Every structure is written in structure tokens, then in C-alpha cells.
A and B are shown apart, each in its own frame.
Chain A
Amino acid sequence: MEGESNETSSWQGLVNKPVYSSDGQEVGIVSAIQPLHLVVSFGPITTDKYLIPKSSIKNVERGIVYLKENTKFVGDNYRFE
């Protein structure tokens, strides 16, 4: 992630922040920070969960996390639940 260190405290600041794919679609909200991934959840009842590698984060700007990949790629490769 550009402009972010790998310190736990800086990653924890991303919890509850929205995540957008490279084509501008909302993927969900960061629900947990894991050592290698971000867990992103979408939907209030039947929640879709995405396991997003930290290396997929392009940047964080004004409290929004932007990914390097588009919606299709994110759906195909990162959704796990």
C-alpha cells in the first residue's frame, strides 16, 4: 500500500473504511485486518466476504481504500464466503 507502513497500528486504521475496485464499484467495508489480508464484508444480512491480499491495495485516499483490480477480478478471486 502506497504511503503506509506495514505496522499493525496503521493497518488497523482501515477498519470500517469503504473499499472500491479499480472500476469505481464499491466492494464493501473493511471488517478485519489479518497478517496477509484484509477481510472485506458487503451486505447487511447475507454478507459476502472477500479475502483481499494487502498487496492488492493501490492506495488509501480520504478514508477510501482503492484496489488495483476491477470488480470482476475481485468477485472471481477474492470472494470466499
Chain B
Amino acid sequence: MEKTSIDNQSVSSTTTSVSTTSSSKLKTSYETFLQEAATLFPKVDQKLLLNILQFETTYKDWEGSVMLKIVYPATISDIDAKKDWIYKKYQRVSNIEEDRTLRFKAIRLYIEEIEKLLKEDPTIEYITGSATMTPSDAYASE
């Protein structure tokens, strides 16, 4: 009887140990992943990046609906040229905010597209915005 009690304690202790190890391992992996995201996409809002990744990987038919804000350095003199460039790429008219930020909503803005944008225009200082499940312009964006 006493032997069984000891065995139960032993099993319980082992389970706790395995559980702690699993959670530590998962936390470490997640922290490494976040660090890698920051290193690979330093100019992208990390929350937006993770949201796009989540939608892309969870919903295979996600249309890549994103309200994007592209921020240029305050010293930019040709923001209208950037606006034209965005129009040619996505056929979307963007709003100019604070003379340095272009805001527009488009589809198929997957993570590869964000990477492409940054490669095509290295003057971009920062990209932020929000990924949405709704594909159309029927709903107001933030």
C-alpha cells in the first residue's frame, strides 16, 4: 500500500517536471521566434507581422486584406511620387497623413508582399497597419 503511494508521488513529480520542461521549451522557442521576426523585419510593426502570419497560416483562403500605413522619413520631399507608386502597384489611392505616411487598404498583402515592398523601396522607415478577416471595403478601417 505504501509502495503505491510512493509510486503515485513519483509519477506526479515526473509529470510536473515534464510539464515545466515543455512550457520552458515552448517559451524559449517563442522568444527565439519573436527575436527572429524582429531581426528579419525590423521596419515592420511586429504586431502586424504576427497577425498577417497568423491569418496566412491559419486560414489558407485568407485574401490578405490589410489596411497598410507606410511611413517615410520626415525629410521626404516627394510623397506624391510614393503615392503614385502605390497606385500603380495596387490600384489604390492612398491617404497622405502628416506629410510622410501613406494609408491605404489592399488585398493580397501577404508577408512576401511586405518583404517585396521593403526591398523595392529601401527609403521606407516603418510599416504598420492592421490585418483584417473582412476582404472588402464594406467595413470602416481603423
Contacts and interface: CB of A to CB of B under 8 A. Distances in A.
Chain A residues touching B, majority SS: mixed
A1 interface: no
B46 interface: yes
B97 A80 contact: yes
Contact of B74 (A36, A37, A39, A76): A76
A27 to B, nearest CB: 15
Contact of B100 (A34, A36, A39, A80): A80
A81 B98 CA distance: 6
Contacts, number: 41
Interface residues of B, number: 21
B43 interface: yes
Nearest to A48: B98
A81 B43 CA distance: 16
Contacts of B46: 32, 34-35
Interface in B82-117: 97-98, 100-101
Chain B residues touching A, majority SS: mixed
Contacts of B43: 35-36
Given A34-B45, A51-B71, A80 B39 contact: no
B38 interface: yes
Nearest to B39: A35
19 contacts: A8-B35, A34-B42, A34-B45, A35-B41, A35-B43, A35-B46, A36-B42, A37-B126, A39-B45, A76-B74, A77-B74, A79-B98, A80-B71, A80-B97, A80-B98, A80-B100, A80-B101, A81-B98, A81-B101
Interface of A: 8, 32, 34-37, 39, 51, 76-81
Given A36-B43, A80-B71, A80-B101, 14 more contacts: A8-B31, A8-B35, A32-B46, A32-B47, A34-B45, A34-B46, A35-B39, A35-B42, A37-B126, A51-B126, A77-B74, A80-B97, A80-B98, A81-B101
